[in-house]
Amino acid sequence: MRGRPLNVPAVARALGFALVAIAMVIAALHFHAPTSRIEPHHKNSLAASGPRADELKRCQLIASEAKDDAACAAAWAENCRRFFADAPAPAARSAGAQR
């Protein structure tokens, strides 16, 4: 068996290129395949329906213009008040800290 000697660095380089190409194809197929979206189990405050939720959605859609909109400011204030309703008032916290 007298043939050409095996050029190990060239074979290793070719094998490396092939592995990288295979990895790229697998990654492309993985990210291209449609996946089913899993809905979260919890519902956020904007997922609810009603006039306040509709107003908050409208404020989100107008984005930076919402800071000058009085209706958006009122809706966000009401949402914050409702969110922090369980928290004690600042006066009650400071009175408790003085004891």
Tens-digit pLDDT profile for residues 28-79: 998 886 766 665 555 554 456 678 788 888 888 887 877 788 888 888 888 8
φ, ψ for residue 91, nearest 5 deg: -65, -40
Mean of the per-residue pLDDT values of the chain:
77
Q: Are 55 and 75 in contact (CB under 8 A)?
A: yes
Sequence spans of domains, the chain: 46-85
Question: Model confidence at 7, in pLDDT bands (50, 70, 90)?
Answer: confident
pTM of the entire structure? 0.36
Looking at residue 45, what is its pLDDT? 46
- Express as a percent the part of the chain with pLDDT over 90: 20
φ, ψ for residue 4, nearest 5 deg: -70, 140
